[in-house]
Structure 1
Amino acid sequence: MRRSFAFSVLLAAATLAAVPVQAQSLLEYVGQCVPFARAASGIQIYGDAWTWWAQADGRYQRGQKPRIGAVLAFAKSARLPLGHVAVVSRIVEKRVLMVTHANWSRLNGARGHAEQDVTLFDVSPRGDWSQVKVWYRDTNGLGSSIYPAHGFIYGLPDPAAGKAVRPARPAAELSSRQPDYVGSLIDAYAR
């Protein structure tokens, strides 16, 4: 009896610890990029960010052109051993867009926070978004690192998919009402 009571208490504690605390707003989120991208984009893929591109094959449409609400899947690299996922919030011009994502910059000394309308610059030789630079809020500048990316997952069911996938619905808070387009262009092109 004593052992089953102790087990029940431990089970209840473990269950409560596994339930994530829900933020009032998408932008109040603090945590990893994957659950944030899933909530912000509506794309129902699970697992490490570097696995999203392959998991989307046969489920969601994929491509090399940005669309609002699409998820950019960063590849696994030395700097990103688990990859990264970010949701397109604005398309500024052919090689500059804004993303809303989590767990990138250090805000108030800590990673994990959500960031809205962050500049992303395509630096790939072919203009196919396979190599990007990302703005860092903690340094107020476009990073010097170049990150490899697979491409965009659009959230629309792949017509060749054998099973039904519901279209994804991006969150309403994906972009601000007045994003800084000019600042984004200056950040990208003023080296």
Structure 2
Amino acid sequence: MNFGRFAARFALVGSLCLATIVPAQAKFWQCVPFAREVSGVDIHGNALTWWNKAKGLYQRGDAPEVGAVMSFAPVGKMKLGHVAVVSEIVSNREVRLTHANWSVRGKIEYNVRAVDVSPDNDWSEVKVWYGPIDALGSTTYPVNGFIYPDAGPDSQQVADGTNYADKPVLDNGLDREHAMAFHD
């Protein structure tokens, strides 16, 4: 593992630990500043602009990597797109994402399932875990690809022994069954 990749992963873990120390009521998170803070990808502007702004600054691709930013294209109610950080690679068709402002407005979700449902197995379309139904949502979201915070992917970490029944933790101070939320 090169130093840049190690530093990016260390920053991801450190940011996640810091986010758990701060009281949930202390900050209303949007996806963009959260993804920028956790990944180290220094892009500003709405999520819908990240894919194009990354060109020439960061490597981009269609393979997930821990620490990479998944760039969602705008669709339906999600007019400004969305960005999320890959926190784990489960298989060639499933990753875990850590992101903000998805199931619970302004809150952080850790290690939620995202499944590649694209017909060509290229991560161009995904379904993402949605808190209010405690399952993968029914909406299919278009994905531009992945923005790599350093030199790009050279390996994929596949998790073994993962308990897929584990539910993601919501950083909202409420238990999952009583979290009242909506998705933008």
Secondary structure at the counterpart of residue 25 of structure 1: helix
Q: Does structure 1 residue 148 correspond to structure 2 residue 142?
A: yes
Using the alignment, how far apart are the partners of 1:49 and 1:181 within structure 2? 31
Displacement of 1:157 in angstroms is 5.5
Q: 1:113-141 CA distances to partner (integer Å, 9 max, x unpaired)?
A: 01100000000011111100000122201
The 5 Å alignment of 1:1-191 reads 25-27=18-20, 28=24, 29-106=27-104, 111-156=105-150, 180-183=162-165
What amino acid does structure 1 have at the position aligned with 2:99? Answer: H
What amino acid does structure 1 have at the position aligned with 2:111? Answer: D
What amino acid does structure 2 have at the position aligned with 1:34? Answer: V
Q: 1:88-114 CA distances to partner (integer Å, 9 max, x unpaired)?
A: 0000001000000000002xxxx1101
Contact 1:86 1:100 in 2 (8 A): yes
Runs of 4+ residues over 4 Å off in structure 1: none
Using the alignment, how far apart are the partners of 2:38 and 2:19 within structure 1? 7
Which stretch shifts more, 133-142 or 80-89?
Answer: 133-142
Using the alignment, how far apart are the partners of 1:30 and 1:128 within structure 2? 33
Matched residue pairs, number?
139
Using the alignment, how far apart are the partners of 1:90 and 1:98 within structure 2? 5
Larger Rg: 1
Displacement of 1:180 in angstroms is 4.9
TM-score by length of 1: 0.68
RMSD: 2.3
Using the alignment, how far apart are the partners of 1:67 and 1:181 within structure 2? 20
Contact 1:67 1:88 in 2 (8 A): yes
Using the alignment, how far apart are the partners of 2:31 and 2:44 within structure 1? 11
Displacement of 1:25 in angstroms is 2.6
Displacement of 1:31 in angstroms is 1.7
TM-score by length of 2: 0.70
Runs (5+) with no aligned partner, structure 1: 1-23, 159-178, 185-191
What amino acid does structure 1 have at the position aligned with 2:56? Answer: G
Aligned match of 1:188: none
Using the alignment, how far apart are the partners of 2:82 and 2:148 within structure 1? 16
Q: Structure 1 pair 181/70, CA: closer, same or farther in 2 (3 Å)?
A: farther
Runs (5+) with no aligned partner, structure 2: 1-16, 153-160, 167-184
Secondary structure at the counterpart of residue 87 of structure 1: strand
